Amino acid sequence: MENQKNSFNNFFKDFLNQEQQKAISPKNGVLLVHAGAGSGKTRVITSRIASLIINHSVDPESILALTFTNKAAKEMKERVKNFLQENTKLPYVGTFHSYCLRLLKSSKYFSKSNFSFSLIDEDDQNKIIKGLIQKHNLDKKITAKQVLSFISKIKNETHNPETSSAFLLANNIFQELYHMYEKEKSISNCLDFDDLLIKSYRLFEENPEFKAEFQQKIRHILVDEYQDTNQIQHLILKTMCLNKASENGDFAIDSLCAVGDEDQSIYSWRGATVSNMLNFKKDFKNTVSITLEQNYRSVQPILDTANSVIQNNKYRNIKNLWSDKQANDRIRVIQCASGYQEGQAISLFLKELTSITNDFNTSNAILYRSHFQSRAIEEALIRFSIPYKIIGGIQFYDRQEIKDIIAYLRLILNPFDRLAFLRIINTPTRGLGPKFEEDYLNQWDEQPFLNFKEIAQNFIENNQLTKNKLDQLKSFLEIFNDLSDQDKASNIITQIISRTNYFSYLDQNFEKEDSQSKKDNIKELINSAIFFEKNNSSFSVKEFLEEISLLQELINSNNSNNTQVYLMTFHAAKGLEFDNVMISGVEEGILPSSHSTYIHESLEEERRLMYVGITRARERLLISYTMHRTIYGQISNQKPSRFINELPDIYIKKDDCSKWPYDNFKYYFQNWINNKKYNYNFDQSYTIDSVVNKPSTSSWMIKQKVEHKVFGIGTIEKIENNALNTYLTIKFNNAIKKIDAKFLKSI
């Protein structure tokens, strides 16, 4: 025991700074720890648990530590365990929901009146709501996801959902469905995950004996990531710790320690409210505030940049991050001509970084506000053979909505494509279910030389379907009227979206944010087609699908290598850190997003996203924005984000790279990475959608033999150049193909 104490106290003295020690050493009292990014908050909370057990002889079973993910809870348990001797009891460390479930299951006060209960998951909830919607013929008015989102929102707002602002402002349909949903659960004696919090709160408030027993047993409470708590979680904490939570009563346990950072509060869309931290002192008397400002992650210029941006927020407690890691020239901001040039610039930076450092293990990340932004970046990475991995999302051409639209294109190109047919016959939903699909395929097996239209015509002529199914099948066939694989892909995609009402289908089947994200992805698919068409007038559906196939082929070959860079949104990046971070698309309407521009609280959250992005970087930070973007086929003039103007000029170098060719970028990044001073006078004009890697034709000749991984060996018959690539028309044994030169090898 003495060895354990000596070991911990040596750690306390040697590895914790003065402010961290202030948060760890007291046994009793209320502590609010404002832990800046990279300041060691997990170290503080786990060390405090260990200190209570080792130095203050606190019974581990009287300690409760709450966090937000099972992953975080597991990490905290392991760290606490490392401080303690083997076989020492561990305190409870878990999520709010898991602890509330434990309380309800074990409490005689709850089970006495409710007997046993079942916990239902999201699928169960969905089934209940869908059944209610169908029963009351509301299918065309509302979706299950909309209702579930509404129910979760009002339950996270307060312990009494029917008094929440969302409930009072909702239309009658939502209110009625809420009541019917609650009745269905009650009949089955079931609770959903949000009920765990509400029922636990009421258990504390309505059962003084239960509350007294809890406060007698649990004497020390610690909460991690407090900026991510919602209103009901804050109420639960108050009623756990105070004699009368609703009346701001006296503190009833020995200690409470809440750790968080309001500057990283970025989850308002799922109920989190930054006000819980800002109002903490009002709700808990005699709170001692401790601010952790020393950062152990980033070099100082990156922290100075983050401080400069976040100080423009009003709703925060002031802190200034600092570090012992001094450095110069670690942040660059570049203005690109277009999203395509931006993707190529980022790729070139990564190429030079790997080449100069000769280190493939360096961690790198590209951050963006929305998933649709990844498409141009992914294509650039693929063309430069840079292996990547998307965190919290999937590769652009593997996304559900993109595969749906591509399946329509595939069926236009190849009317015998059964996989494409099966994907879209009920997308959007047409009521042509599994039995129809089975019958359809059976007929297709019997008559394999007929295409999908001819098989459908057989069904129609033989009157094999009910009137409703017959009408739906005819409507499906009408989608393909006058559509040819020789037409431009951008026009065809637009027609498909219109004729299928695909955007309405997304609105009806996905929550608002998910639906908008999927629409943005489809618009980006159209942008991709338009870009290729601009550079090749004969670029049709056929060539577009071939281009996508070649890109996917390169993705698969790149995946065999080690990941060189991670792609993710700002939300997915929270809690992570990387040596080099690239923040793309820092433009008005993107970051901050267009819907947040005129709402002060939303704008502050967007600024917090920027702050989170900046503070992910350890060594270097590259920020980029564009002058123009192609949005739904139209070239849009873009404005730099207001956050660009909030960056401190003293720590960063801003460069207009919009007219630079390939060699200039290479020279620029080489000098930056090598910490060399530079004197550039770049002035070469390019069009809006030009990119940095202008091809050279010197290595290709007519009649030259080349090799392709899929098509084999062929002969060059024609060479075409544009601002992006060289396209070669190749004669293979069985076909003539036009292929991007990057996919070919000279032999």
Q: Let me know the angle formed at the C-alpha of 619 by 613 and 620, rounded to the nearest 5 degrees.
A: 65
In degrees and rounded to multiples of 5, residue 717 shows phi and psi of -110, -25
Output 499-502 pairs: Cβ under 8 A, ≥24 positions apart.
500/408, 500/428, 501/428, 502/401, 502/404, 502/405, 502/428
157, 194, 224, 304: which is the annotated catalytic residue? Answer: 224
Does the annotation mark 41 as catalytic?
yes
How many other CB atoms sit within 10 Å of the CB of residue 641? 23
How many other CB atoms sit within 10 Å of the CB of residue 55? 15
Alpha-carbon span 118 to 638, nearest angstrom: 52
Does the annotation mark 224 as catalytic?
yes
Structure token pair of residue 145: 């996801």
For tokens 């570090």, the residue is 323
Alpha-carbon span 698 to 711, nearest angstrom: 24
Alpha-carbon span 669 to 666, nearest angstrom: 5
Q: What is the DSSP letter of 587?
A: B
In degrees and rounded to multiples of 5, residue 344 shows phi and psi of -70, -40
Name 622's bridge partners: 332, 582
41 is in an annotated binding site: yes
212 is in an annotated binding site: no
Amino acid in the structure at residue 7 = S
Phi/psi class of residue 237: alpha, beta or left (left: φ > 0; alpha: ψ in -120 to 50)?
alpha
Alpha-carbon span 584 to 606, nearest angstrom: 14
Does the annotation mark 616 as catalytic?
yes
Alpha-carbon span 93 to 262, nearest angstrom: 23
Structure token pair of residue 584: 């793309």
Q: In terms of Cα–Cα distance, which of 288, 236, 295 is closest to 263?
A: 295
Percent helix, strand, coil in the chain (nearest 5)?
50, 15, 35
Does the annotation mark 639 as catalytic?
no
Angle between helices 231-241 and 208-217 (to 10 degrees): 80
Q: Let me know the angle formed at the C-alpha of 418 by 413 and 420, rounded to the nearest 5 degrees.
A: 60
Query: Considering Cα of 624, then 531, then 397, then 404, what sign does the dihedral take?
Result: positive
Structure token pair of residue 711: 């098509």
125, 143, 239, 264: which is the annotated catalytic residue? Answer: 264
Alpha-carbon span 514 to 507, nearest angstrom: 9
Helices within 55-192 (DSSP H only)? 70-83, 96-106, 108-114, 122-135, 144-157, 165-169, 172-188
225, 304, 378, 379: which is the annotated catalytic residue? Answer: 225
CB burial of residue 39 (10 Å; 0-12, 13-18, 19+): buried
For tokens 């989608």, the residue is 479
Terminal alpha carbon distance of the chain:
73
* Beta strand 736-740 pairing with 726-731: antiparallel
Query: Considering Cα of 500, then 503, then 508, then 514, what sign does the dihedral take?
Result: positive
The torsion of the CA quartet 30, 32, 38, 42, rounded to 10 degrees, works out to 30
What lies within 8 Å, CB to CB, of 311 at 6+ separation is 318
392 is in an annotated binding site: no
Does the annotation mark 569 as catalytic?
no
Does the annotation mark 225 as catalytic?
yes
Q: Are 261 and 253 spatial neighbours (Cβ–Cβ below 8 Å)? A: no
4, 21, 42, 457: which is the annotated catalytic residue? Answer: 42
Q: In terms of Cα–Cα distance, which of 553, 292, 586 is closest to 397?
A: 553
What lies within 8 Å, CB to CB, of 679 at 6+ separation is none
H/E stretch holding 256 reads strand 255-260
User: What ranges make up the beta strands (E) of 317-432?
Assistant: 331-336, 364-368, 388-390
38 is in an annotated binding site: yes
Query: Considering Cα of 129, then 134, then 138, then 139, what sign does the dihedral take?
Result: positive
36 is in an annotated binding site: yes
343 is in an annotated binding site: no
Binding annotation for ATP? 35-42
Binding annotation? 35-42
Q: Looking at the annotation, which residues are catalytic? A: 41-42, 224-225, 264, 616
